[in-house]
Amino acid sequence: MPQLNPSPWLFTMILSWLSFSLIIQPKLLSFTPTNIPSDKTPSSTKTPSWPWPWT
């Protein structure tokens, strides 16, 4: 069964993971988020109940 032969695919997999780990991931992690979470406590809003016609 040729799909069990790891020779052509093992190098491709290792090369893709190395490129992701060494090149792409540091570039993505260097971006700063634009929406920084704040330390504010969320304000709770009281919504009125819906006036159902059958009650």
CA 1 vs. chain centroid, Å, equals: 37
Which pLDDT value is given to residue 43? 74
- Could you report the per-residue pLDDT of 1-55, keeping only the tens digit for each? 566 777 778 888 999 999 888 988 888 888 877 777 777 776 777 888 888 887 6
d(Cα 20, Cα 26) in Å, to the nearest integer? Answer: 9
Q: Which residues contact 29 (CB under 8 A, 6 or more apart)?
A: none
Which pLDDT value is given to residue 14? 92
pTM of the model: 0.44
Which pLDDT value is given to residue 45? 79
Which pLDDT value is given to residue 2? 60
d(Cα 27, Cα 48) in Å, to the nearest integer? Answer: 48
Which pLDDT value is given to residue 16? 92
40: left (phi over 0), alpha (psi -120 to 50) or beta: beta
